[in-house]
């Protein structure tokens, strides 16, 4: 990704800056996703391998090139990477899935909600998507609450690779109506 594209795709919120992840972010990203409290919800209760993180970064860069959205690094202004937020395509269904993660010391301050609104604006207002989905492990209460708070609809409870999961979705129309009312 070129520096000018990265700059064009940088998003700012009241308290955060979101910058597209690139291969240069690999070490920080690997450390963040390898933290047990974070990785257990993202990689089927396992610590990710370096190959998995490389693969997700590659998919993200491809999606930024084609759709203008994928996984952003979440930063406190002038600070280090504190998390990730954005989207990847689910290979089996082609759906665009919302993803988020924060270092545990930053949980509970509304950062994931704030970052998610910024990337959902990008998906619905800029990229013109009609629908995105969200999925979480059933015991992942924080993630479930966040998906609900974002206005997502619970569609079903169905295992993914043997793990009991909730499946949510959000239509552009509903999101944009909710944004107007907020
Ligand atoms: C999920 C995660 C990103 C939430 O981040 P966060 O910044 O703490 O979330 P927010 O502060 O924006 O909170 C969003 C909502 O979730 C609720 N919430 C947060 N943590 C919660 C918890 N442990 N239990 C229940 N609700 C919780 C908040 O109260 C808020 O709802 P409210 O506005 O109705 O009060 C964070 O817990 C995380 O990184 N977890 C590990 C990675 C992960 O699970 N990713 C998702 C995989 S599907």
What mean pLDDT do residues 22-44 have? 94
Ligand 1, atom nearest to 109 Cα: 11
Rounded Cα distance, 38 and 142, in Å = 12
What mean pLDDT do residues 96-121 have? 97
Rounded Cα distance, 64 and 70, in Å = 5
Which residues form ligand 1's pocket by a CB distance below 6 Å?
A: 38, 41-42, 100-102, 107-113, 136, 140-143, 145-146, 149
Q: Does the structure show a pLDDT above 90 at 2? A: no
What pLDDT does residue 181 have? 76
Pocket test for ligand 1, best of 37, 107, 142 (most atoms within 8 A of CB): 142
Please provide the average confidence, as pLDDT, over all residues in the chain.
95
Alpha carbon of 59 to ligand 1 centroid (Å): 25
Say if residues 115 and 18 touch (Cβ distance below 8 Å): yes
Alpha carbon of 55 to ligand 1 centroid (Å): 26
Which CATH number among 3.30.160.40, 3.50.50.60, 3.40.630.30, 3.30.450.40 corresponds to the domain 3-181?
Answer: 3.40.630.30
- Report pLDDT digits (tens) over 117-176: 999 999 999 999 999 999 999 999 999 999 999 999 999 999 999 999 999 999 999 999
H/E stretch holding 66 reads: helix 50-67
What pLDDT does residue 141 have? 97
Domain boundaries, the chain: 3-181
Percent of the chain residues topping a pLDDT of 90: 90
- Beta-strand ranges (E) seen in 26-162 are 71-75, 81-89, 96-102, 131-137, 153-157
What mean pLDDT do residues 35-58 have? 94
**Biggest CA-to-CA distance, the chain:** 43
Alpha carbon of 80 to ligand 1 centroid (Å): 20
Ligand 1, atom nearest to 140 Cα: 44
Say if residues 155 and 169 touch (Cβ distance below 8 Å): yes
What pLDDT does residue 10 have? 96
More confident residue, 138 or 77: 138
> pLDDT band at 179, cuts 50/70/90?
confident
Alpha carbon of 125 to ligand 1 centroid (Å): 24
The b-or-e profile of 34-55 (16+ CB within 10 A means b, else e) is eeeebbeebbeeeebeeebbee
Say if residues 97 and 67 touch (Cβ distance below 8 Å): no
Alpha carbon of 2 to ligand 1 centroid (Å): 33
The b-or-e profile of 66-76 (16+ CB within 10 A means b, else e) is ebbbbbbbbbe
Alpha carbon of 74 to ligand 1 centroid (Å): 15
């Amino acid at each position: 990704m070129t520096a000018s594209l990265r700059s064009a795709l940088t998003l700012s919120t009241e308290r955060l800056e979101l910058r597209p992840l690139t291969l240069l972010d690999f070490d920080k990203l690997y450390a963040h996703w390898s933290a047990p409290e974070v990785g257990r919800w993202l990689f089927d209760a396992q610590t990710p391998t370096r190959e998995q993180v490389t693969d997700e970064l590659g998919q993200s860069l491809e999606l930024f090139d084609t759709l203008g959205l994928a996984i952003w690094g979440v930063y406190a202004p002038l600070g280090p990477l504190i998390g990730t937020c954005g989207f990847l395509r689910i290979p089996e269904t082609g759906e665009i899935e919302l993803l988020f993660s924060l270092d545990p010391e930053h949980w509970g301050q509304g950062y994931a909600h704030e970052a998610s609104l910024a990337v959902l604006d990008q998906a619905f207002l800029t990229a013109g998507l009609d629908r995105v989905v969200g999925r979480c492990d059933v015991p992942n209460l924080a993630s479930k609450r966040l998906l609900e708070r974002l206005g997502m609809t619970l569609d079903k409870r169905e295992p993914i690779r043997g793990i009991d999961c909730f499946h949510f979705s959000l239509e552009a129309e509903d999101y944009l109506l909710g944004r107007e009312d907020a």
